[in-house]
A and B are shown apart, each in its own frame.
Chain A
Amino acid sequence: MKRISITLTALLVLAGVSACTEKPQTGGGVRQDAAPYTGTGSNFTQPGWKAGDKTSWEQQLKARQQYSQNEYTRTR
């Protein structure tokens, strides 16, 4: 009896905390989209990265964030 009640309590606790981590959201849409690092081929593209190269796109974007949005790179 005691063993059953312990198991039951353990199962209830497990059920209770099962929602505590981030569940990956499914339902991923009907059509797929080209990733941004594939580029647009337009003349307005920011220079400093290569189209198709994910790492160079990420680096360029992070660098852009620092120089355009962080004024402490230029002051102090």
Chain B
Amino acid sequence: MARMKFICDAERCIECNGCVTACKNEHEVPWGVNRRRVVTLNDGVPGEKSISVACMHCSDAPCMAVCPVNCFYRTDEGVVLHDKDVCIGCGYCSYACPFGAPQFPSQGTFGVRGKMDKCTFCAGGPEANGSQAEFEKYGRNRLAEGKLPACAEMCSTKALLAGDGDVVADIFRNRVVQRGKGAEVWGWGTAYGTQQGGQPPAGAKS
């Protein structure tokens, strides 16, 4: 099996925050911790784009590299997980991560922050699969139930894809082959002449 991957198609994302709510509900994430969040650029302006961001389960994870107590590990599927019992709340992983994935339940300095929490690809943690202890610490283990991450399954436009990297790439490639990429996904070019999405059509008054 290839490694597990996320991909979010910025053309399809409508900032509905369904992925955010699904993740929060599935794992009962406390207020202030945002395992997944939707980032919107150019809000209110033509060419507005949104994308859903969470832990990307990097193949060369910076969080794993900087952790002073070595609490991170990677499963065979490429999912980056960590052990909250070992975590000391230093925050180095949070500084290292380019996506801002590691989050802490309280503010404060070294240790006072609490244990680091992040997206687990719905694969729980080191506790026994599906146990109450695992749910309380890491949230629901959906992979062990044979399901995909809640965020991707809840996505209203199927912008967010998750699962086996080969299959995700295949689905995305199929979309591009069927509908084109960029603005052509919505047929702007067919309807209004070849323009990039968000630009006024040629000849229109701005």
In the complex, A touching B, CB below 8 Å? Answer: yes
Chain B, 59-88, CB within 8 A of any chain A CB = 59-61, 64-65, 67, 69-77, 81-83, 85-86
* B71 pairs with A29, CB closer than 8 A: yes
Asked, given contacts A25-B60, A44-B145, whether A62 binds B71 with beta carbons under 8 Å apart, the answer is no
Contact of A38 among B129, B148, B175 (CB under 8 A): B129
Report how far A72 CA is from B173 CA in the complex, Å: 12
Report how far A31 CA is from B125 CA in the complex, Å: 10
Chain B, 168-188, CB within 8 A of any chain A CB = 168, 171, 174-175, 178
Chain B, 139-174, CB within 8 A of any chain A CB = 141, 143-148, 152-153, 158, 161-164, 167-168, 171, 174
Count residues on chain A whose CB falls below 8 Å from chain B CBs.
38
Asked, given contacts A23-B60, A28-B73, whether A62 binds B81 with beta carbons under 8 Å apart, the answer is no
* B1 pairs with A58, CB closer than 8 A: yes
Chain B, 16-61, CB within 8 A of any chain A CB = 59-61
Report how far A68 CA is from B141 CA in the complex, Å: 19
A45 interfacial by beta-carbon distance below 8 Å? yes
* A27 pairs with B70, CB closer than 8 A: yes
Contact of A29 among B1, B82, B158, B178 (CB under 8 A): B82
A9 interfacial by beta-carbon distance below 8 Å? no
List residues of chain B with CB under 8 Å of any chain A CB. Answer: 1, 59-61, 64-65, 67, 69-77, 81-83, 85-86, 123-126, 128-130, 141, 143-148, 152-153, 158, 161-164, 167-168, 171, 174-175, 178
Q: What are 9 A-B pairs at a CB distance below 8 A?
A: A25-B74, A29-B82, A38-B144, A40-B130, A40-B141, A48-B146, A61-B146, A69-B161, A70-B158
